[in-house]
Every structure is written in structure tokens, then in C-alpha cells.
């Protein structure tokens, strides 16, 4: 089988069987192309590659001062691809076996304080919208911010919502997460009120996208980030904010309030508890900081 057919079969496998997101598929596809470009004319086939090639590329990646996360992602893509070739095409020698990767950095998540979060939630109501903007626009923005903070959902999950995804009676929202796994997230009263007001003002039907642009199309992730940047620039928050940082804020605040780690794992849709455990480092770091500031003999 040709190189191109092997790769296309692999990406169909990622899409249909593994149900990887389009973003992940794109990253993996780019990784395979980058490796072939690095090998240049020496690249003959995937079967002909050796462990030494993988180590050399790892060394080259480090020389380019790429982050350990980027290097790990590159090799996760290659490792996944070679496992596929071994299982589906009987590849006898996997060059990824025995390759050790740089340790994963454990940078603590950045999050907002409760005061900063409350300031951000109020801004859509305080800023005058553009003259040509629909009347519902500030209410849409407020509903987005409230929903992020109330549920901790991912950006991809939020923009995929339809009006019918919200259950006002059960006070929850149905989302489709990574791997097409469905979960129902509880939503607080302020967020539900903001959503109900926005949907009513925008005149949206149950089957329509929940968050829409001025012309009525489904809002993109890029547009949500642009909106968030606009409000952060108008706030007293001294650093940039992404939807993922709002997710960090949600998790940190409910842990601080006494939520257990397993519950937070389910709410965030993490497949592994180890992914959620980074938030315990955040709360410990905060406790240590408070201790140093307040204890007379710290």
C-alpha cells in the first residue's frame, strides 16, 4: 500500500473509529507531513524508518527550542500512527518503541479571582453596543460568559450547542465532549436566566444554534475569543483570558468551595483523574500563599 493510502486510511480511522476532533486530526496530519519534510529525499516509506530517525527528529526539535509539550505532541502522533500500522497492516518493527520523551511541564492553570470573574460577567450590560448591533447582542455575550463560568464546558462544546440543549426545568445543559461522549452539566440560576433572556430577545427556535452571529449563523470559536478579548481589554484584569482559562476558573472555584476531585472530573469531562489533579496543586499553592501572608510565624 502506498504512503498516501496508508495515511488516508489512518485519518479515516481517527475520524470514524476514534472520533478525534478535527483539530487533533489536523495536528496529527501536520506532524506526519513535518516528519517527511524533515527526512526529505531520504524518506522512502513509513516501514523503512528506524528508531534512530525518531531520536534524531526529537533532537532536532529540541535544538529548535520547541516546547516539551510540542515535542510530546509530535511523537504522540507518530506513536499513534505506528500502532495503527502494526495492528492493521502487520508492521513487524515499530520504530517508536523505546523512544523516551521530555517530561511534561506541570505549569499551574491561570484563573480569575471571584472579584475578577464577577467584573467580567457584568461588563456586557455596562458597555454600549455598536449602533448597528442587534439589541440582543449584549445579552448573548453575558449568557456566554455566565455559561462558561457556571458549567466549565469547553469552547468547542459551547459553540456546538443548540437552543434545545438547554433544559430549564432540570437546570442543566447537554453537551457532546471529546470522543463524542455526552454528559449533562448542571447550570446555575443566573446563567439560566441570562440564557432565557437572550433566547427570547433573539427569537431563536429550539432546533437552531444557541449562540449566533449578527447575521444568524452559528458563532465560531474565533468569534467567542474575539468577544472575550474585547471585554478583558475594558476590564481591570491584568492578563489575557481564553475560554480555557474560564474553565480553569470554574474548576478552581468549586474545588475551593469544597467539591471533591471525582465530581470535578465528571463535570469537566476528563477521561482520567490525573488530568483533573492539577487543580489540587492550584488550591495547595493558594493555601500556601495565604498561610505565608497571614500566619505570624510563617
CA distance 142 to 118: 11
C-alpha 183: how far from its chain's center? Answer: 16
Phi-psi sector, 275: left (phi>0), alpha (psi -120 to 50), beta: alpha
Among residues 65, 202, 35, which one has the least CA distance to residue 134?
202
CA distance 187 to 172: 5
Average pLDDT, integer, range 228-251: 91
* Residues 6+ away with beta carbon under 8 Å from 3: 45, 46
Strand partners, 100: none
* Residues 6+ away with beta carbon under 8 Å from 229: 240, 241
Per-residue pLDDT at 259 exceeds 90:
no
Instruction: Calculate the average pLDDT of the chain.
Output: 87
* Residues 6+ away with beta carbon under 8 Å from 158: 144, 147, 148, 175, 211, 224, 243
Average pLDDT, integer, range 82-102: 87
Residue 78: all three cell numbers together? 507518530
Strand boundaries in 116-259, DSSP class E: 166-167, 172-176, 182-186
pTM tops 0.75: no
199-216 pLDDT tens trace: 999 999 999 999 999 999
Per-residue pLDDT at 78 exceeds 90:
yes
Burial tier of 211 (Cβ tally within 10 Å: 0-12, 13-18, 19+) = buried
26-75 pLDDT tens trace: 999 999 999 999 999 999 999 999 999 988 888 788 777 777 778 888 88
**What pLDDT, on the 0 to 100 scale, is given for residue 7?**
94
Confidence label for 258 from pLDDT (cuts 50, 70 and 90): confident
DSSP letter, residue 15: I
Strand partners, 174: 184
Confidence label for 251 from pLDDT (cuts 50, 70 and 90): confident
- Catalytic (active-site) positions: 154, 178, 244, 247, 270, 279
Amino acid at each position: 500500500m502506498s504512503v498516501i493510502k496508508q495515511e488516508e486510511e489512518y485519518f479515516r480511522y481517527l475520524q470514524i473509529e476514534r472520533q478525534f476532533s478535527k483539530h487533533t486530526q489536523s495536528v496529527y496530519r501536520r506532524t506526519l507531513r513535518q516528519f517527511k519534510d524533515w527526512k526529505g529525499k531520504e524518506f522512502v516509506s513509513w516501514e523503512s524508518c528506524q528508531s534512530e530517525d525518531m531520536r534524531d527528529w526529537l533532537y532536532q526539535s529540541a535544538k529548535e527550542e520547541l516546547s516539551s509539550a510540542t515535542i510530546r505532541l509530535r511523537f504522540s502522533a507518530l506513536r499513534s500512527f505506528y500502532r495503527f500500522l502494526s495492528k492493521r497492516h502487520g508492521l513487524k518493527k515499530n520504530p517508536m518503541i523505546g523512544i523516551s520523551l521530555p517530561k511534561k511541564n506541570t505549569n499551574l492553570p491561570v484563573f480569575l479571582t471571584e472579584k475578577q470573574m464577577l467584573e467580567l460577567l457584568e461588563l456586557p450590560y455596562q458597555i454600549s453596543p455598536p449602533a448597528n448591533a442587534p439589541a440582543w447582542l449584549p445579552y448573548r455575550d453575558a449568557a456566554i460568559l455566565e455559561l462558561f463560568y457556571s458549567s466549565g464546558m469547553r469552547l468547542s462544546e459551547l459553540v456546538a450547542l443548540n437552543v434545545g440543549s438547554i433544559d430549564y426545568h432540570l437546570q442543566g445543559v447537554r453537551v457532546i465532549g471529546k470522543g463524542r461522549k455526552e454528559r449533562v452539566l448542571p447550570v446555575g440560576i443566573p446563567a439560566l436566566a441570562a440564557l432565557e433572556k437572550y433566547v427570547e430577545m433573539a427569537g431563536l427556535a429550539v432546533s437552531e444554534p444557541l449562540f449566533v452571529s449578527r447575521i444568524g449563523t452559528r458563532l465560531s470559536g474565533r468569534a467567542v475569543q474575539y468577544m472575550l478579548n474585547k471585554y478583558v481589554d475594558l476590564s481591570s484584569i491584568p492578563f489575557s483570558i481564553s475560554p480555557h482559562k474560564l474553565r480553569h476558573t470554574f474548576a478552581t472555584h468549586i474545588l475551593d468551595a469544597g467539591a471533591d476531585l471525582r465530581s470535578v472530573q465528571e463535570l469537566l469531562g476528563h477521561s482520567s483523574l490525573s488530568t483533573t489533579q492539577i487543580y489540587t496543586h492550584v488550591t495547595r499553592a493558594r493555601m500556601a500563599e495565604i498561610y505565608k501572608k497571614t500566619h505570624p510565624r510563617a
